[in-house]
Amino acid sequence: MVVRKLAVMLLNCRWVANSLDFNKDYEASVFETTIRVVGGLLSTYDLSGDKIFLEKAKDIADRLLPAWNSPSGIPYNRINLARGGAHNFGWTGGNSILADSGTEQLEFIALSQRTKDPKYQEKVEKVVKELQKTFPADGLLPIYINPRSGTAAYSTITFGAMGDSFYEYLLKVWIQGNKTEAVKHYREMWETSMKGLQSLVRKTTPSSFTYICEKNGNFLSDKMDELACFAPGMLALGSKGYGSGEAEEVLSLAEELAWTCYNFYQLTPTKLAGENYYFHPGQDMNVGTSWNILRPETVESLFYLWRITGNKTYQEWGWNIFQAFEKNSRLETGYVGLKDVNSGIKDNMMQSFFLAETLKYLYLLFSPTSVISLDEWVFNTEAHPLRIVTRGDLHQENVQVDRQQKLPIHFRGRKEGRLGYN
């Protein structure tokens, strides 16, 4: 088995070295390319030590960098990989999207650490510094940011689509930097935002499901995306940075929200969650958009809650969700989403995040806690683990990989240069 896995790794490394070419006349999402491609390559480098993955990560990151050349430093969200020419979607009115603009810090900071080139870190840290200038008292930012002024444009506030991972990265950059003084402001901003999150929390009757509202101006909308089900895991992960009393309150909120997200699955005929849910006075909740595209957020939160609390209930919930995927989504050639979680009618697509995130978090949910330890690794928003490195002078930082002691079992036994790329 080990020999077979090493052979597959060898073939993959050769393909990356000889065939992976980013010089394409293709308009890419800066956000999606960062979390999936840059993050994936850096994670593979951290796990394997093969420099070809670092070189390719630098190549694609260099193609993305012009997106940050806006008047404010807030990045444009689209760019052509061969020709540059960064811009935003027309439907945003020329604005940048909060999640798309504030979810590159982990990857670009890691790239600067590993290449000793500060330019990547400087670009993404300027974004946070710009947002910090006008950061609201409740820490809640609208989903549209003006790339010229760097200020928020009037729009929805949400922990769902287009807002979610900005808040996640405030916490995770603090963890990535080993919780040192250099990253203290990320934690402070995150805690401010979590107070804002609590102002959006409501409960249903009669079942007391806890949920996170969306906000439009002064109006709260009783709607919650399945995407927002990353929040229980984020709260659980961040709870360890509070004092004991507040930590218990934050962890309790995480567990209440996780129960709601689990019931997003359990309350449909297929036991798979819809894309979003609505809550009404005197009722519990009902499916809004009824498709399921194999999203990972609820399973992600179950993974964090199990790791942090040791409560095996979260493993049971994860197993039930996995069984629902097996029953409703599995085909001979892979897995597909559902057009409707009520009827069970299938679509014909397996999203890449199902492999990168949903199945990975399910695997880790049933693995020993030493496998990708949360004391040594931080997951980017596409579930690619990056090694935690103490922040300081980039020229002093060291990210040497201990292949024999730190890596999962299927990477052990590798020797420096064995695959010929070091």
pLDDT tens for 294-323 read: 999 999 999 999 999 999 999 999 999 999
Q: Is the pLDDT of residue 412 over 90?
A: no
The closest of 115, 107, 9, 106 to 54, measured between CA atoms, is 115
Q: pLDDT-based confidence at 284, cuts 50/70/90?
A: confident
Task: Name the catalytic one among 125, 275, 340, 357.
Answer: 275
Average pLDDT over residues 247-274: 98
Query: pLDDT-derived band of residue 255, with 50, 70 and 90 as boundaries?
Result: very high
Which own/partner pairs from 313-318 qualify as long-range (CB within 8 Å, at least 24 positions apart)? 314/258, 314/365, 315/365, 315/366, 317/262, 318/361, 318/362, 318/365, 318/366
Confidence of residue 418 (pLDDT cuts 50, 70, 90): very low
> What is the spatial distance between Cα 148 and Cα 75, in angstroms, rounded to a whole number?
10
Dihedral sign, Cα of residue 10, residue 111, residue 92, residue 301: positive
Cα R_g (the chain), whole angstroms: 21
Annotated binding-site residues read 381
Binding residues for Ca(2+): 381
Please say if 32 is a catalytic residue: yes
Residues 6+ apart with CB under 8 A from 48: 9, 401, 411, 414
DSSP 201: E
When pLDDT is cut at 50, 70 and 90, the band that residue 406 belongs to is very low
C-alpha angle 365/370/372, rounded to 5°? 70
Report, as an integer, the average pLDDT of 3-24. 75
Residues 180-209: pLDDT tens digits?
999 999 999 999 999 999 999 999 988 899
pLDDT above 90: percentage of residues in the chain: 85
Mean pLDDT of 3-21: 72
Active site residue 104: no
pLDDT (tens digit, 9 = 90+) per residue, 218-243? 999 999 999 999 999 999 999 999 99
What pLDDT shows up at residue 5? Answer: 56
C-alpha distances out from residue 271 to 108, 206, 277, 316, 390, Å: 38, 21, 14, 14, 42
pLDDT at 14: 84
pLDDT for res 401: 41
Could you read off the pLDDT of 364-381 as tens digits, one per residue? 999 999 999 999 999 999
Mean pLDDT of 258-283: 95
Q: Count the helices and strands in the chain (H runs, E runs).
A: 15, 17
pLDDT at 9: 60
Question: Positive or negative CA dihedral for 314, 316, 322, 328?
Answer: negative
pLDDT at 52 over 70: yes
Give the domains, in start order, of the chain with CATH numbers. 1-171 (1.50.10.10), 200-384 (1.50.10.10)
Res 270: pLDDT: 98
Determine the pLDDT at residue 40: 98
pLDDT at 417 over 90: no
Q: Widest CA span of the chain, in angstroms?
A: 65
pLDDT greater than 70 at residue 11: no
- 259 touches 277 (CB < 8 A): no
Assess whether the previous peptide bond of 147 is cis (omega < 30° from 0): no
Query: Residue 338, CB half-sphere, CA atoms under 13 Å: how many?
Result: 27
Distance, CA of 273 to CA of 287 (rounded, Å): 8
Structure tokens at 401: 């990989």
397 is catalytic: no
Q: What is the dihedral of CA 386, 175, 132, 235, to 10 degrees?
A: 110
Residue 4 above 70 pLDDT?
no
Residue pair 349/303 in contact (Cβ under 8 Å)? The answer is no
pLDDT at 330 over 80: yes
State the pLDDT at residue 347: 97
pLDDT at 45 over 80: yes
Which entry of 50, 255, 297, 340 is annotated as an active-site residue? 297
pLDDT bin (cut points 50, 70, 90) of residue 414 is: very low
Is 297 tagged catalytic? yes
Mean pLDDT in residue range 91-113: 97
pLDDT at position 134 is 95
Question: How does 382-420 read in b/e, with b if 16+ C-beta sit within 10 Å?
Answer: bbbbbbbbebeeeeeeeeebebeebbeeebeebeeebbe
Tell me what the mean pLDDT of segment 50-76 comes to: 98
More confident residue, 6 or 278: 278
Residue tagged active-site, from 46, 164, 168, 225: 164
